[in-house]
Amino acid sequence: MCLAIYGIVAVLIQTGLLSSFYQITLINVCINIVLAVSLNLIIGFTGQFSLGHAGFMSIGAYATAIVLRMMPNMYGLLIGAIVGMILAGVASLAVAIPTLRLRGDYLAIATLGFSEIIRIIMVNGGSLTNGAAGLSGIPKLNDWTISFVAVVLAVTVVANVIRSKAGRNCIAIRDDEIAAEDMGVNTTMYKTMAFAIGAMLAALAGAMYASYFYVIKPSTFNFNASINVLIIVVFGGIGSITGSIIGSLVLGVLTTMLQDLAYLRMIVYAVVLIIIMIFRPQGLLGDREFSMRTFKRWMTRRKGTAADDKAEG
C-alpha cells in the first residue's frame, strides 16, 4: 500500500497534475507527519508532556544547513541529517536527565524553556548560524521521494518501538508510573529513551525542512511551532500513530484550502479544531490505530448487516 501511495503521487507530480503549490503542501504534510508521530511517542505513548519539539527540529535544520553549505549534494544532506539527529539525541539526553523527574505541567514548562534556549543559541550563534536572519540559500535537495522515505522511516521506527517490550514499558509508565516501576520497569531509562528517539526524529523533520524551503531562521522554530505539532497530535488522537498521520494530512489540506480566505483562515481553522474537540475530545482516532484489517472488518460488518436487512425484508 505504501508503494501504491508513493507511485500515484509520483505520477501526479511527473505529469504536472500536482502543481508546485500543492507540492509544497505535500512536503509540509510529510514534515508534519514525522514531527507528529515522534511527538506522539513522547506525549501519547510515554505520557511525558513535552513542548520542546521545535527546539529539536531546529537542531536538525541548522545542522543540515551548515553541512550542506560545505557539501551541497545528496551526501551532504544525508550527513547533515545524521549529524543533526545525533546532536538532537545528545541534547535530548542533556534535557531529559534533569527534567524527566518532573511531571505534567512542570515538564512542559521545562521543555519549553529548553527549546527557547536552543532558539537563543541560534540567534547568538555568530557566523555559524547567522543570527536572527538565519541561513539562506540552502540547496533544495528534498523532494517527494526523500520525504516519503523519511516518513516511512519515522513511522516504522515509532511503530516498531511501540510494539515491543520498550513500547509496552512506555505505555505502562503512561498508565501508572508507580506500578510500572514496581513491576521492574526502569522508568527513568525508558522515559529518556522515548524522549531521545522523539528528539532524533524531530531533527530528521528539521533536515527535511531545511533542504526544501531554502531559508531557515530561529523564529521558524519558536513556541508556536511546538504548539502546532501538539495540535496535530491532539487532533489526530493522543496515542495513535495513524491518528497523527491522518491529523497531519487533514490539517495540512485544510490550511491549503483556506489559503484564499486570508484573515478568516485562522478563524475557520480554530473553529474546525473546536468542533473536533467538542465532538471527539479524544481526537479523530482516539488511541486506536487505523489498519486495513480493521477497515475490512468494518466493511464486512456493514455488508453483514445489510445482508441481514435484506434477508429480513
- Which of the ranges 26-34, 123-131, 153-161, 206-214 carries the binding residues for another protein, by CB under 8 A? 153-161
Task: Output the CA–CA distances (angstroms, integers) from residue 165 to 35, 160, 168, 169, in the order listed.
Answer: 23, 10, 5, 6
Nearer to another protein, 256 or 282 (CB): 282
Task: Give dist(CA 242, CA 155) in Å, integer.
Answer: 9
# chain residues binding another protein, by CB under 8 A: 29
Least distance (Å) from another protein to the CB of residue 157? 5
304-to-90, 291, 293, 295 alpha-carbon distances in Å: 54, 20, 16, 14
Tell me whether residue 165 or residue 302 sits nearer to another protein (CB atom): 165
> What is d(CA 238, CA 81) in angstroms, rounded to the nearest whole number?
27
Regarding 145 and contact with another protein (CB under 8 A), the answer is no
Q: Choose which of 9, 78, 113, 168 interacts with another protein (CB under 8 A).
A: 168
CB 240 within 8 A of CB 145: no
Contact track, another protein, 171-190, x by CB under 8 A:
xx-xxx-xxxxxxxxxx---
C-alpha 114, offset from chain centre: 18
Q: Which three cell numbers stand for residue 281?
A: 475530545
Nearer to another protein, 269 or 290 (CB): 290
- Residue 161 within binding range of another protein, rule CB under 8 A: yes
d(CA 296, CA 302): 10
Alpha-carbon Rg for the chain, nearest whole angstrom, is: 20
Closest by alpha carbon to 205, among 21, 5, 28, 20? 28
Q: How far is the CB of 186 from another protein (least distance, A)?
A: 5
Binding residues for another protein restricted to 197-216, rule: CB under 8 A? 197
Q: Name which of 29 and 100 has its Cβ closer to another protein.
A: 100
Considering only residues 238 through 297, tell me which ones interact with another protein, judged by CB under 8 A. Answer: 239, 287
37 forms part of the interface with another protein (CB under 8 A) = no
Q: Which residues bind another protein (CB under 8 A)?
A: 156-157, 160-161, 164-169, 171-172, 174-176, 178-187, 193, 197, 239, 287
